[in-house]
Amino acid sequence: MIERRIFDVVVAGCGIAGLSAAVSASESGARVAVVERATREERGGNTRWTEAFMRMKNDSEVADDFEEHFMANSGSHLDPSLVAETARPYGQWPAIVKTLSFTDPEIVGTLAAEAGPTLAWLKGLGIRFSDMASYLITQSTTRICPVGGGLALVEALAARAEANGVTFLYETSADDLIFDDAGRISGLLARDRDRNKLELMGKVVLACGGFEGNAEMQTRYFGDVARHVRPVARGGYYNRGEGIAMALRAGAAPCGDFSQYHAEPIDPRSGVSEPIVFNFTYGVLVTQEGRRFVDEASHTVDAIYENIARMIAKLPGGVAYLICDARLDEVPNWQRSVRSDQKPVTAATIGELATALGIPAHTLEQTIAGFNAATRRDGAFRPLELDGLSTQGIDPPKSNWALPIATGPYRAWPISSANCFTFGGLRCNADAEVVDGDGRPLGNLYAAGETMGIYYRRYTGATSVLRGAVFGRIAGRHAAGAGA
């Protein structure tokens, strides 16, 4: 016997996107259910564990480079004749453009325009925003964050949803979409912790994350590197891609780069949430063989950490080692940039450090000696800005902050690549409606957060929580008020 329950809106997922959808829909008077795989104590998906930085100048204006960065990373080798079509009003776009796998300027424009109003809405729920210092000692854009981080967002939104009468179904997983006799989406099939099946009838908002918790999907889309990549925080393990898969089976158009993920460099020894190691710009990075492989400081850390983390995933064993010396302490507050609970490996000499790390000592000593010989003595070390203190005559170069690694004691951190969230998801319009392969809304189906595809190539930093809030709010409001 399958239990059937009737709602107006059924939301899969309880992170920022799902909770924003639930609150928004309930504010419009809809009867709302939220399906959440986690327990109540761990609800919140990735949002619960993040500091939730937002690419904003203040709580009403997006950063100056917001739309520019998105569009510079909208896809690869796009057909210019199709891109030119986006200059016309959306209603005049041909179907092939409405389903094109690229970052839709309509979506980016909506995200930018609705960011301020959405943060004002969150402030109405008691959330405060600040430009407090972050783990990014150097950065290339402006950011703010909610006081209390993502957990504050989860708790404030969940409290409002509960006060509005939203039904929460914890330890319950979304399995598939339900269709009526005419083939229209009419609800969500779910199962509870005892594997009892539930038919939750109503319009559906898929806000159940990406697939960073699904090893099979990661291997299918990322290839061999997937074996070295783990979710950056506990919430990611709950995100297994069912929402994306069920919508694709129903004919949804894909969007977002399925071959990529938002990568962060972490200490693989640590089990804390987001154990980042972001001080690599002040040392050198080497492989297990003891050789450098990348310019560690081509730009500020916020602009390069993702690419470096992806490169590390492709190395043998999926690990690199950051080598620093005592002069790291000349960097003000460098400790802020390391969130691991594990201490660095230390030694009196480079050879001893290599032995402790399991790296061939002779190779590492040669690498460090060659690097030191390429550093300059004629520039000023300015650790909090791009100082142009670069190496000369060495490949790869180091473009900034290139001090010799020559003053003991020496210290090192292992670094692996963690998956914050996956890029591949569903194609939506500006109302967060999922569209089919002909660019038409599937009907009664919405997506928000990681489940909505938007990113290609490089992540536009500090926009993921923001897009979850903006399009979750839009999805809930539209689902509560739009016709079938």
280-289: per-residue pLDDT in tens?
A: 999 999 999 9
Which candidate, 20, 470, 12, 24, places its Cα nearest to that of 206? Answer: 12
At 133 the pLDDT is 77
Q: Which helix (H) or strand (E) holds 203?
A: strand 197-206
Q: φ and ψ at 313, to 5 degrees? A: -60, -25
How far CA 328 is from CA of 99, 331, 446, in Å, comes to: 49, 6, 48
At 315 the pLDDT is 98
306, 262 Cβ separation under 8 angstroms:
yes
Global pTM reads 0.96
293, 286 Cβ separation under 8 angstroms:
yes
* Alpha carbons 162 and 173: distance in angstroms, whole number: 20
36, 454 Cβ separation under 8 angstroms:
no
What's the pLDDT band for 482 if we cut at 50, 70, 90?
A: low
Which candidate, 330, 322, 333, 325, places its Cα nearest to that of 381? Answer: 330
Mean pLDDT of 256-281: 97
Mean pLDDT of 390-399: 98
In the predicted structure, residue 253 carries a pLDDT above the cut 80: yes
In the predicted structure, residue 483 carries a pLDDT above the cut 60: no
* All structural domains of the chain: 3-260+423-481 (3.50.50.60), 263-418 (3.90.700.10)
Higher pLDDT, 136 or 354: 354
Enumerate residues 6+ apart whose C-beta is below 8 A from 273. 49, 232, 233, 234
* Alpha carbons 420 and 232: distance in angstroms, whole number: 5
Mean pLDDT of 429-444: 98
Dihedral in degrees, nearest 10, Cα atoms 370, 334, 321, 415: -150
Mean pLDDT of 210-229: 97
436, 184 Cβ separation under 8 angstroms:
no
Instruction: Provide the token pair at 362.
Output: 């002779």
Give the strand pairing for 433-435 and 441-447: antiparallel
* Alpha carbons 132 and 134: distance in angstroms, whole number: 6
Enumerate residues 6+ apart whose C-beta is below 8 A from 406. 325, 372
Q: What is the pLDDT of residues 30-74, one digit of tens each?
A: 999 999 999 999 999 999 999 999 999 999 999 999 999 999 999
CA 64 to mean position of chain CA atoms: 21
**Percentage of residues of the chain with pLDDT beyond 70:** 99
* Alpha carbons 397 and 130: distance in angstroms, whole number: 37
In the predicted structure, residue 484 carries a pLDDT above the cut 70: no
The half-sphere exposure of 246 on its side-chain side, counting CA atoms within 13 A, is 27
Of the candidate ranges 123-137, 383-397, 408-422, 430-444, the one whose mean pLDDT is the lowest: 123-137
* Alpha carbons 211 and 320: distance in angstroms, whole number: 25
Burial class of residue 397 (count of CB atoms within 10 Å of its CB; 0-12, 13-18, 19+):
middle
Enumerate residues 6+ apart whose C-beta is below 8 A from 133. 333, 336
At 132 the pLDDT is 79
* Alpha carbons 33 and 327: distance in angstroms, whole number: 55
Mean pLDDT of the chain: 97
Largest CA distance in the chain: 79
Q: What is the pLDDT of residues 403-435, one digit of tens each?
A: 999 999 999 999 999 999 999 999 999 999 999
